[in-house]
Structure 1
Amino acid sequence: MATATATSPAASGTSSPTTARARRNGRALGILAWLCGIVFFLPFGWMLLTSFHSEQDAGTNPPKLDAALTLHGYREFFGSGTGVSPWPPLINSLTASIASTVLVLVLATPAAYALSVKPVRKWTDAMFFFLSTKMLPVVAGLLPVYLIAKNTGMLDNIWLLVILYTSMNLPIAVWMMRSFLADVPVAVLEAASIDGAGLPTVLVRIVAPIVAPGIAATALISFIFSWNELLFARVLTGVTASTAPVFLTSFVTSQGLFLAKVCAAAVCISLPVLAAGFAAQDKLVQGLSLGAVK
């Protein structure tokens, strides 16, 4: 008596319609992702290419893709023709961005821990209050901040920017950190409390390693926001504490817009942010997707 044996599509060498459809969808999504990446990269790629052109070739319409390449724009940025060094503004931006990011993490992590783990009454009202501070346009608070800085002698001071950037990024950091800390197992925190661990020990040795991707994502976003801020830095600084974005605006003069020189300066000023994003890209993806899939 012959017995019939059932063979799966994989065993017989053929794929099921569902598997084939999933592969086609995966390839289509992959192609779409590459197209989106190319579209988002095109402005920076165009700026990078223009930075290696001469002013004459960069200002043509339509632009010349096969124009001769030169480093004249980068030499101008580093002060070979003007004698103006970009290093003080770059160091000021780096100081303000790093210091404000560290302060944001130090202040946002305990606040988010209290709002996500500890039984805080009406925590939603507190979260809405943090968010409401971002609803006021920045330009609306510019005059009061300027008057306070003038009366306290803090104009053209890099530490004024550190305070402002910390206050500007803190609400967003609290919101982000709370979503990350909400996924920390309560049992682990309770076990640490039973063992006698205090709040600093819990935050540093237990919470921080668990939410390290979230901390990296929050730090990177705070750093980018601080590095790119222009309005406060343009109004509240002069010569001593001017930042890289303020230095970039100095290339737009009454004589005209020197496109190649501006593109070279923009590429150089964008490099720290791009380097930070590239170095922390794995942590950034993990942090932004933390808790998204249960």
Structure 2
Amino acid sequence: MTPTTAPASLRRRRRANGLLGLVAWLCGIAFFLPVAWMVLTSLHSEQDAATNPPSLTAPLTLHGYREFFGAGGGGLSPWPPLVNSLTASVLSTLLVLLLAVPAAYALSIRPVRKWSDVLFFFLSTKMLPLVAGLLPVYLVAQNTGLLDDIWLLVVLYTSMNLPIAVWMMRSFLAEVPVEMLEAASLDGAGLATTLLRIVGPVALPGIAATALISFLFSWNELLFARVLTGVVAGTSPVFLTGFVTSQGLFLAKVCAAATVISLPVLAAGFAAQDKLVQGLSLGAVK
């Protein structure tokens, strides 16, 4: 490359990088705008929120949040559904990690026979539409007395998130250096010690990414929670549907409720953002 062509190629590369950066910013803003609009609407009164077109200069108020925490959902408290969602999401995520890490270890670091068939079997369980399994699950829960029971949701969310967790963890554990495992084996480390002290710290970003995905899917699940729960084990998405009444849709209060219900997921994502980026980038070409 001659000295005259080097600056030209460098300028073209910079322009291309600048264009890609601009596209990335535009995509990020496009994804963020609905969330910002929801938060802004939650700070308006019902009258201002219902105007068409919506007013950006309307006075701000916390009336929607007071309605949500005071007498939201027809006079019901939002705290039991939030606690139920947190319980089901956290417990199912812990169970998913407890089962997915050893399974992924067996499929990547210590591969079993026909491991590709095993992975395909895990993936095939996600091909069935959730609504197709709703009636059998309902009948089983009814006959076992588990309707409106939070432990039923824990088991269901664990089984629903386990296949994708095994797939994710396998790709993450495949990046663990084999030399570290061989050294641990020479030192007499057992399976539990290897998983906790060797594999765990190295694959921590991948574990964090898998945990966040599982928590997100569990927190946002509505279909099974809507059908299989009632008053006792209802989750926050089910509680959110209670704001759609025969009197109409109170937009400001719905946006306030949606904002509050979204906060735990946003907080978890913000707390684990560095590990999430590292985990999702494992296996990439460096």
Q: Return the offset for 1:83.
A: 4.0
Q: Is structure 2 residue 69 aligned with structure 1 residue 69?
A: no
Q: Which segment drifts farther, 25-34 or 277-286?
A: 25-34
Identity of aligned residues (%): 78
> 1:75-94 maps to which residues of 2 (within 5 A)?
75-80=66-71, 83-94=75-86
How far, CA to CA, are the matches of 2:20 and 2:269 in structure 1? 24
- Name the structure 2 match of 1:289: 281
How far, CA to CA, are the matches of 2:162 and 2:71 in structure 1? 40
> 1:39-50 maps to which residues of 2 (within 5 A)?
39-50=30-41
Q: Is structure 2 residue 216 aligned with structure 1 residue 189?
A: no
> 1:181-260 maps to which residues of 2 (within 5 A)?
181-260=173-252
- The CA RMSD over aligned residues, in Å, is 1.6
How far, CA to CA, are the matches of 1:210 and 1:252 in structure 2? 47
Q: Which segment drifts farther, 185-194 or 171-180?
A: 185-194
How far, CA to CA, are the matches of 1:197 and 1:244 in structure 2? 44
Q: Is structure 2 residue 140 aligned with structure 1 residue 148?
A: yes
How far, CA to CA, are the matches of 2:94 and 2:234 in structure 1? 21
Decide whether the 8 Å contact of 1:214 with 1:284 is kept in 2. yes
Q: Partner of 2:70: helix, strand, or coil?
A: coil
Q: Return the offset for 1:236.
A: 0.7
Decide whether the 8 Å contact of 1:55 with 1:258 is kept in 2. yes
For the pair shown, the structure with the greater C-alpha radius of gyration is 1
> Residue type of the partner of 1:48?
V
How far, CA to CA, are the matches of 2:157 and 2:111 in structure 1? 30
How far, CA to CA, are the matches of 2:152 and 2:71 in structure 1? 31
- Name the structure 1 match of 2:110: 118
Q: Which segment drifts farther, 156-165 or 24-33?
A: 24-33
Q: Is structure 2 residue 20 aligned with structure 1 residue 29?
A: yes
How far, CA to CA, are the matches of 1:238 and 1:40 in structure 2? 33
- Name the structure 1 match of 2:50: 59
> Residue type of the partner of 1:221?
I
How far, CA to CA, are the matches of 1:84 and 1:240 in structure 2? 12
> Residue type of the partner of 1:76?
E
Gaps of 5+ in 2: none
**For 2:127, which of 114, 124, 135 is the aligned residue?**
135
Q: Return the offset for 1:286.
A: 0.8
> Residue type of the partner of 1:189?
L
Q: Return the offset for 1:26.
A: 2.1
Q: Which segment drifts farther, 66-75 or 130-139?
A: 66-75
How far, CA to CA, are the matches of 1:42 and 1:73 in structure 2? 20
Q: Which has the higher helix share?
A: 2
**CA shift digits 1:190-239 (9 cap, x unpaired):** 11111110000000000011111100000000000000000111111111
> Residue type of the partner of 1:109?
V
Decide whether the 8 Å contact of 1:78 with 1:84 is kept in 2. no
Q: Return the offset for 1:66.
A: 1.1
